Amino acid sequence: MEREVAVRKEKNMNLPSILELLQSGVHFGHQKGRWHPKMKPNVFIERNGVHIIDLEKTLESLKAAVDFVSQVAQTGGVVLFVGTKNQAQAIVKKYALFAGMPYIVEKWIGGMFTNFSNVSKLIKKYKTLKEERETGALAKYTKKEQVNFSKQIEKLEKLVGGLAELGRIPEAIFVVDAKREKTAVAEARKRGVKIVGFCDTNINPEFLDYPIFANDDAVKSIEMITRIIAEAILEGKNRKTEQN
């Protein structure tokens, strides 16, 4: 029990201060006309027509999300990172790779969770073609055929490149913008996949299992929250290694 408390204290020490959240613009919500009424308890104030997120609530929600993803990783589970908006793509890919988790940054694949067998076939095709190109197995084909294979690989890279090691439906997803990724959220809810993600003032927090009340547009905010989630996953993985 003492060890568990110590681990939790160490984990929460990695969380940002209120000042750091402010400096990253985590508190800026949307204009009041775009808000979701169910976010009212998490709004601190309205300033110049813009809702300001209560950063105490942000820290509480972030702690809950950190504990959850860390536990998922500790038990060998998978967290799929999803962020297809322009300012999130590079960040999501960087921290998914850092945490050793799959990611989608180009476009959500319809049926990703509800028809995973088809997605698995695409992943297998991508891995096979890529391996054959790397080993020179495609050299036996004509130049035109090789060009066609290269185009297929390029297309599949964008579609499932971040899913190459995903062999099953993940235990959870981490989404940057739940409104933009509404199909991913809907599929996850349908299949019982836990949803962790940014919950800006225009989002219904009830759609997420672990909403993190934060600005989902500002690059600094996206960077900070995504990094913290990735670090929590790594901590969980490390504890799993220590136990084995």
Q: Do 101 and 34 share a domain, yes or no?
A: yes
Ordered DSSP codes for 61-93: HHHHHHHHHHHHHHTT--EEEE--SHHHHHHHH
Pick from 124, 145, 161: which residue ends a domain?
161
pLDDT, averaged per 10 consecutive residues of the chain (244 residues), comes to 39 78 96 93 94 97 98 97 98 98 96 94 94 90 90 93 95 97 97 98 97 98 98 93 78
Q: Do 186 and 149 share a domain, yes or no?
A: no
pTM recorded for the entire structure: 0.91
Report d(CA 5, CA 142) in Å as an integer.
Answer: 63
Range of the domain at 230: 21-113+169-243
Q: 54 with 43: CB under 8 angstroms?
A: yes
Find the distance separating the first CA and the last CA of the chain, reported in whole Å. Answer: 19
Q: Do 31 and 147 share a domain, yes or no?
A: no
Structure tokens at 152: 């297929």
Q: What does the pLDDT read at residue 233?
A: 97
Q: Do 176 and 76 share a domain, yes or no?
A: yes
Q: What does the pLDDT read at residue 6?
A: 40
